[in-house]
Structure 1
Amino acid sequence: MGPVPCFGLCLLGCLLFNPTVEGARNASLALPRSPCPPGALRYKNLCYEFLDDSVGWQEAELECEYWRKDGHLASILSATEERRISSYIKRVSSTCCVWLGLQATRTPIANPTRLTWEWSDKSPYKSGSILWDGRAPSTAISNSECVALINVHSPSSTSRWAQYSCNSLFPYICKYRASV
């Protein structure tokens, strides 16, 4: 065999056995340079990744920040985004509740009897805003200062989110920019 056919076979072998093209041969694995990791949802230029570890809100937020650059618990800024995330969660889990990035803070100087809500990724949230299920989070002082997406598997339910103690243990969903 001459040098050209030998080189061609060698090159073909490198392509077939190179791990960077593994996804191209096996559809169950990520494609090379995939913008989101395998199993994550891509919506617009963002990745949403469900993590099935049941932890408190603060630990969930820290995990999202640790594992993904610019990662935070998911902020949901539109009804369309909420529907996409709910469908994704239905596909990957049977859980009832999932931590989102909406958390209340107490502002004792400005108004000691009210909670102020904000997204962990600093996305805009206007006080009193109506969320995707037509309700607004309570601003009354309570221990239920974190928000979870609920009733994902109950399409007839109008309640789509609920306030819980931030110490409650739920799986969570992280949101971060897709790689380019």
Structure 2
Amino acid sequence: MGQVVYFGLCLLGCFIIGSSSTPVEDTSDAEVAEKSPCPSGALYYRQNCYEFFGTSRTWDEAEAACQILRHGGHLASFPSMREEKLVSAYIKQRSSTNYVWIGLNATPNFNRLIWEWSDGTLYNSGSSLWDSRSPSSSVSSSECIALYNVQYLSSSSRWLQYNCAVSWPYVCKYKA
């Protein structure tokens, strides 16, 4: 009988220890979970995975690759400067690139550009990019946004409006 109780307590202990490694929802401003539900090499933050790809693609090719990678995947969008800086630091650890496609692009509408994230979220063109600049609303061939100065995280110039046909590495975002 004593061995059965001992075995049962050991099993209970293993269950308790094993369950504590499951990622919990980020209710504070805590950073990255120790045990990530994302693939190896990807960044986990606030129930999303960010995955960097060093292969250079045009903006459209990169967006298509993100959609194929995971259901609901898109080029990365950032709701805050903090999140953009975290993802930039992750990219800096993985690559020496200075330009990376993200999911902000524009659609010409009459005589102006309408900006939105590739996941369908509208971008308020009257607001500033997280580096204190606003994208141009004038119609041009520069209709996509790339992270810029990835290797210089303290730089004030962080996002660059550019021609979507240029090929650069990219970062995808999808639900964990």
TM-score > 0.5, shorter chain as reference: yes
1:82-161 to 2 correspondences below 5 Å: 82-107=84-109, 112-161=110-159
Aligned mates of 2:154, 2:119 — CA distance in 1: 30
RMSD: 1.3
Aligned residue-pair number? 142
Give the match for residue 79 of structure 2. 77
Sequence identity (%): 56
1:15-30 to 2 correspondences below 5 Å: none
SS at match of 1:76: coil
The one-letter code of the counterpart of 2:98 is C
Instruction: Quote how far apart the aligned CAs of 1:113 are.
Output: 1.7
SS at match of 2:111: strand
Structure 1 residue ranges, 4+ long, deviating more than 4 angstroms after superposition: none
Aligned mates of 2:147, 2:62 — CA distance in 1: 14
Give the match for residue 20 of structure 2. none
The one-letter code of the counterpart of 1:114 is R
Larger gyration radius, structure 1 or structure 2: 1
Aligned mates of 1:70, 1:63 — CA distance in 2: 12
Structure 1: unaligned runs, 5 residues or longer: 1-32
SS at match of 1:172: strand
Tell me the alpha carbon deviations over residues 93-147 of structure 1, each in whole angstroms, 9 at most, x when there is no partner. Answer: 100100000000011xxxx221110000012421222121011111111100000
In the superposition, the TM-score normalised over structure 2's length comes to: 0.78
Structure 2: unaligned runs, 5 residues or longer: 1-34
Instruction: Quote how far apart the aligned CAs of 1:73 are.
Output: 0.2
In the superposition, the TM-score normalised over structure 1's length comes to: 0.76
